[in-house]
Structure 1
Amino acid sequence: MSSGALGRLSTLTVSFKQLAGLPHLSHSFNKLPAPQATLPASEVPVLFREPYILTGYRPAGQPLRCYILSLFQRHNELLNVWMHLLAVPVVLLRFWFFAASSDLRQGTSVLPLCLYALSSLTYLSLSTAAHLLQSHSELAHYSLFFLDYVGVAIYQYGCALAHYFYCSEEAWRQSLVGTIFLPGAAFLGWLSCASCCFAKLRYRRPYPFHRKLFQLVPTSLAYLLDISPVAHRLVTRPWVEPEFVLHALQVAFFMQAAFFFSCPVPERLFPGCCDIVGQGHQIFHIFLVLCTMCQIEAVCKDFLKQQHLILEVHGESTILLAGGSFFILVLCSLLTAAVMRSSVQRQLQKKD
Structure 2
Amino acid sequence: MATTVMEKIGRIFINLQQVRQVPQLLREALPSLPATLCDTEVPQFFREPYINAGYRPLHQSWCYYFLSLFQRHNETINVWTHLIGALMVLIRMAQLAEMVDFLNDPHSWPLLILLISSLAYMTLSATAHLLSAKSELHNYAFFFLDYIGVAQYQYGSAVVHFYYAIEESWYTWVWRIFMPIASFLCCLSCLGCCYGKYQNYSLPHWVRKVGQVVPSALAYAWDTSPVFHRIGLWFLSWGGDDSGNDQSLAFHCGQVFFFLSSAFFFTHPVPECLFPGHCDFLGQGHQVFHVLLTLCTLFQIHASYLDYLNRRQLYAKLHGDNEALLFVVLYVVTTIICVQIAAYMIKKVSRLLKCKEKEK
**Same topology, TM > 0.5:** yes
> Which residue number corresponds to residue 204 of structure 2?
207
Residue 326 in structure 1 maps to residue 331 in structure 2: yes
Residue 302 in structure 1 maps to residue 307 in structure 2: yes
Separation (CA, whole Å) in 2 of partners of 1:31 and 1:252 = 42
Separation (CA, whole Å) in 2 of partners of 1:291 and 1:205 = 34
Residue 208 (structure 1) shift: 3.4
Q: Runs ≥4 in structure 1, deviation > 6 angstroms?
A: 29-33
Kindly indicate whether the alpha-carbon contact (under 8 Å) linking 2:39 and 2:47 is maintained by their aligned counterparts in 1. yes
1:113 paired residue among 102, 111, 114: 111
Change (3 A) 1:30 1:259: closer
Structure 2 counterpart of 1:284, which letter? Answer: F
Kindly indicate whether the alpha-carbon contact (under 8 Å) linking 1:106 and 1:307 is maintained by their aligned counterparts in 2. no
Kindly indicate whether the alpha-carbon contact (under 8 Å) linking 2:30 and 2:67 is maintained by their aligned counterparts in 1. no
Kindly indicate whether the alpha-carbon contact (under 8 Å) linking 1:165 and 1:310 is maintained by their aligned counterparts in 2. yes
Kindly indicate whether the alpha-carbon contact (under 8 Å) linking 1:46 and 1:205 is maintained by their aligned counterparts in 2. no
1:221 paired residue among 218, 234, 240: 218
Kindly indicate whether the alpha-carbon contact (under 8 Å) linking 2:132 and 2:138 is maintained by their aligned counterparts in 1. yes
> Which residue number corresponds to residue 340 of structure 1?
345
> Which residue number corresponds to residue 268 of structure 1?
273
> Which residue number corresponds to residue 232 of structure 2?
235
> Which residue number corresponds to residue 14 of structure 1?
none
> Which residue number corresponds to residue 74 of structure 1?
72
Separation (CA, whole Å) in 1 of partners of 2:67 and 2:183 = 37
> Which residue number corresponds to residue 3 of structure 1?
none
Per-residue deviation, residues 307-347 of structure 1 (Å, max 9, x unmatched): 46544420023222221111111000000000000011111
Task: Tell me the secondary structure at the aligned position of residue 224 of structure 2.
Answer: helix
Residue 213 (structure 1) shift: 1.2
Residue 157 (structure 1) shift: 0.4
Residue 32 (structure 1) shift: 8.0
Per-residue deviation, residues 192-223 of structure 1 (Å, max 9, x unmatched): 00011001001228833221110111100000
Per-residue deviation, residues 112-136 of structure 1 (Å, max 9, x unmatched): 1111111001100100000000001
> Which residue number corresponds to residue 18 of structure 2?
none
> Which residue number corresponds to residue 60 of structure 2?
62
**Size of the alignment, in residue pairs?**
327
> Which residue number corresponds to residue 82 of structure 2?
84
Residue 316 in structure 1 maps to residue 321 in structure 2: yes
Question: Percent identity over the alignment?
Answer: 45
> Which residue number corresponds to residue 39 of structure 1?
37
Structure 1 unaligned spans of 5+: 1-25
Separation (CA, whole Å) in 2 of partners of 1:347 and 1:303 = 48
Task: Tell me the secondary structure at the aligned position of residue 56 of structure 1.
Answer: strand
Structure 2 unaligned spans of 5+: 1-23, 235-242
> Which residue number corresponds to residue 10 of structure 2?
none
Residue 106 (structure 1) shift: 4.6
> Which residue number corresponds to residue 187 of structure 1?
184
Change (3 A) 1:59 1:254: same
Separation (CA, whole Å) in 1 of partners of 2:125 and 2:215 = 19
Change (3 A) 1:83 1:228: same
Kindly indicate whether the alpha-carbon contact (under 8 Å) linking 1:260 and 1:280 is maintained by their aligned counterparts in 2. yes
> Which residue number corresponds to residue 12 of structure 1?
none
Structure 2 counterpart of 1:203, which letter? Answer: N
Task: Tell me the secondary structure at the aligned position of residue 34 of structure 2.
Answer: coil
| 1:141-156 alignment, distance < 5 Å | 141-156=139-154
Kindly indicate whether the alpha-carbon contact (under 8 Å) linking 1:239 and 1:245 is maintained by their aligned counterparts in 2. no
Structure 2 counterpart of 1:301, which letter? Answer: L
> Which residue number corresponds to residue 14 of structure 2?
none
> Which residue number corresponds to residue 172 of structure 1?
170
Residue 259 in structure 1 maps to residue 253 in structure 2: no
1:131 paired residue among 129, 132, 135: 129
Q: RMSD in angstroms over aligned alpha carbons? A: 2.2
1:197 paired residue among 194, 207, 211: 194
Separation (CA, whole Å) in 1 of partners of 2:196 and 2:251 = 34
Kindly indicate whether the alpha-carbon contact (under 8 Å) linking 2:187 and 2:337 is maintained by their aligned counterparts in 1. yes
> Which residue number corresponds to residue 19 of structure 2?
none
